[in-house]
Chain A
Amino acid sequence: MKYALLSDIHSNLHAFEACLDHAQKHGVDRIAVLGDLVGYGAFPTEVVTRCQEIAHSGGIVLRGNHEELIQSHSLNSVLASQSLGGQTAEWTHEQLSPAQRFWLEILPLTAQDDALLFVHASADAPERWRYVEDERIAALSLDAACANPDVHYVFGGHVHHQSLYYRGTGRQLMAFKPTAGVPIPTPKHRRWIATVGSVGQPRDGNPRAMYAVFDSAAAKLTFHRVAYDHMAAARSIRQAGLPEFFAQRLETGR
């Protein structure tokens, strides 16, 4: 079974479509969207509609922190923070239909398929949206997930960069920075936790979209960087009247 692992799409339809096309060409069987479908970008309705199609055809779609930010009960506190994110959350709230907002609100926080556990942030307390950003937190998340002995792989997003954590010959987790496009052997007798990066808002200075493909039969994980029309995505953000900062972020990948 080949899984496409996509996270942090952030209403970037251009990047999302490019990654889905790329995944289809690589013969992916199942799509997993690991949260943060919306926020920042110009196409919340289209991205949510596409995710609903994915869910209806057997894919996995999880809830991220941005799906909570755009709900009515969160908006007041988000707006009070007077952040740029608050402005896009309010705009996104207005764009989505009540039915779509409800659909986002009841999405699950985690999902399991065979030896794979999917979660937006950290598996030890998914609702706390903790960033899996170093070996220590990765170990907390992995150990919590592996309380279920069936689980050997934990896939998440939230941090907007691609990382793989594993145990070498010692007890501590080791961080590994993957090279895009290289299938990495991840045999099942070990336990692995990966952050798959952000489809719709890369922040490492490279504007290309990030996602990953996991092939469970071959036990190989490939991190991908996909070129897409990021200038068009940035233009759409300006046309929608959203903050200039988010347009520039897509142009520079920072």
Chain B
Amino acid sequence: MTRLQAGSEIDGFSIGPCLHAGGMAHIYEVTYADQRPAPFPMVMKVPRMRAGDGAENIVGFEVEHQLLQVLHGRHVPRFVAAGDLASLPYLVMEHVPGQTLQHVLDQHTEAHTRPSADEIAKLGAAIARAAHSLHQQNTCHLDIKPANVLLHPDGHAVLLDFGLSCHAHYPDLLAEELRKAVGSPPWIAPEQVVGVRGDPRSDVFAIGVMLYELATGELPFGNPTTDGGMRQRLWMDPAPPRRLRPELPEWLQEVVLRCLASEAAQRYPSAAHLAFDLENTDQIQITARGQQVMGTPFFTHVKRWLKAAGMHYQPSPLPSQQIEEVPIVMVAVPHQDVSDATLYSLRQAVARSLGIRPGARLAVVTVISPNQTSASESDKSETSVHRQYLTMLRQWAQPLDLDGHQTSYHVLEASDVATALVRYAEGNQVSMIVMGAATRGLHMQRFVATVPIKVAMEAPCSVILVKSTLPFEQLSEPAQLTDR
């Protein structure tokens, strides 16, 4: 399609200046031609080719045309209008303010600086949350790269360009029997190289490449131009980031290399798990992966290379189903006025919830009131009070078999316990909350919103309310037993 003139009109949109002239499409600022105010600034994306041309790049526009109309949430641009693919292909969408991650990277390169580890964690968590929001909508982006990540001024990330994406509810127009690699060479996941489309962990890999780039200024697998170069990531680990920049913290390398594992099963099982680690960097369990600076030994690579030689396409399950199978389970452990029976029952409920979900992650949380800490008294300082409760939580969790379940412990300070728990669950993509049912006051609960009822009503996920098991209840009240 020839370039549109500023001031011309298409389907009720008045064309403004051209913001971007890419290889695939032009992007113009647009307004409503009838002068009515738009709820937000808008852009129009017009592909260079038309559907009738049969060129492959129009398929990407067709995919984006389909997906932008059904994706929702603040991590994608809002959809406004679409033109007919065959006669007048265009998309009008929200013009999201902010700058791309590419811009941030370029700025650092020009200034010869690197973002701090905490900044990298913040950016990575924002991008991982955006990816998770897509996965929950049964969509894998499959082309996450710095140019497609927009950082909103308020800190959340918006993903752009769904031309290579895959929605499990629609026929995948980019799939083909030859299973060719579709993606951008530096960021494409190993399974995409062999033609697997639709695994959410492919997006986790791409985020790992960007974290690596942010941390070191280098691309972990370079920018290969041949099939052989692309296949390298099927078996090869990149140089550990700390070899390039020894001052990087071990936790960051641990996270980055876990995202970049060549086998999808060795990566974070969902983007929510990745976001969780990046938001709780002090709780990341450092393994040899995070500490090493030498890189993977030659013989390990040879063995993996042999294995990768036979790697072939395998279909993926529904993304939303796949991430539901590795939930983040949160347990609220009370720290006062609590019977052993309640603590025991909570533990039993957590064990049962985790037992059927290998890979599920556990967040053990307690809420203390803000006046328990004091800035002036040393034994009531925030760190010492928190340490005391963290120890209590660890003791509580000790009998659980947490092998294969990442676990972290959190002390929240808030006067409104229910709101604190709900906010925490929202902020960390928690899939299930386990908490005590507080059955003693149950007959009153039509009138008084107790903590469990309030959490159950407002939580963004399922809530399991645990009742204390009877034998313990009786044991804790021996006086009554002897009376009867």
Contacts and interface: CB of A to CB of B under 8 A. Distances in A.
B86 A164 contact: no
A169 interface: yes
A143 to B, nearest CB: 16
Q: Which of A166, A171, A187 is packed against the most chain B CB atoms within 10 Å?
A: A187
A188 B171 contact: no
A193 to B, nearest CB: 12
Interface stretch (A61-69, A111-119, A176-184, A238-246): A176-184
A168 B179 CA distance: 11
Contacts of A178: 169
A169 B174 contact: yes
B414 interface: no
A174 interface: yes
Contacts of A187: 51, 62, 85-86
A182 B169 contact: yes
B174 A166 contact: no
A66 to B, nearest CB: 31
Contacts of B86: 187-189
B177 interface: yes
B52 A189 contact: yes
Q: Which of A164, A166, A169, A171 has the most CB of B within 10 A?
A: A169
B175 interface: yes
A172 B177 contact: yes
Interface in B157-196: 168-178
A170 B176 CA distance: 5
Most buried by A among B52, B86, B172, B173: B173
Interface string B3-34: 00000000000000000000000000000000
A185 interface: yes
Given A189-B85, A189-B86, A184 B52 contact: no
Interface residues of A, number: 17
Main secondary structure of the interface of B (DSSP, over half): loop
Nearest to A188: B86
Given A188-B86, A189-B86, A166 B56 contact: no
Contacts of A170: 176-178
Contacts of A164: 171
B66 A185 contact: yes
Contact of A184 (B59, B85, B171, B177): B171
Interface string A46-67: 0000000000000000000000
Nearest to B175: A168
A174 B51 contact: no
Interface in B20-70: 51-52, 56, 59, 62, 66
Contacts of A171: 177
Interface in B124-150: none
Nearest to A186: B171
Contacts of A185: 66, 170
Contact of A169 (B51, B56, B66, B169): B56
B24 to A, nearest CB: 15
A169 B171 contact: no
A185 B175 CA distance: 16
B327 to A, nearest CB: 22
Contacts of A189: 51-52, 85-86
Contacts of A168: 171-177
Contacts of B176: 168-170, 172, 174
B171 A176 contact: yes
Contacts of B170: 176, 182, 184-185
A182 B320 CA distance: 15
A174 B52 contact: no
Nearest to B58: A189
A164 B52 CA distance: 22
A63 B56 CA distance: 40
Contacts of A172: 176-177
Contacts of A169: 56, 59, 173-176
A130 to B, nearest CB: 22
Contacts of B169: 178-179, 182, 184
A188 B85 CA distance: 9
A164 B171 CA distance: 8
Contact of B175 (A174, A179, A188): A174
Contact of B177 (A174, A176, A188): A174
A187 B62 CA distance: 9
B470 to A, nearest CB: 40
A168 B172 CA distance: 7
Interface-central residue, B62, B168, B177, by most chain A CB under 10 Å: B177
B171 A166 contact: yes
A169 B176 CA distance: 6
A189 B85 CA distance: 8
A254 to B, nearest CB: 23
A182 B85 CA distance: 21
Contacts of B175: 168-169, 174
Given A169-B175, A187-B85, 12 more contacts: A166-B171, A168-B173, A168-B176, A169-B56, A169-B173, A170-B178, A174-B175, A174-B176, A179-B169, A182-B170, A185-B66, A189-B85
6 contacts: A168-B173, A169-B56, A169-B59, A169-B176, A182-B170, A184-B169
The 9 A-B residue pairs with the shortest CB-CB distance in the complex, in nearest-first order: A170-B176, A176-B171, A169-B176, A182-B169, A168-B175, A172-B177, A168-B176, A189-B51, A185-B66
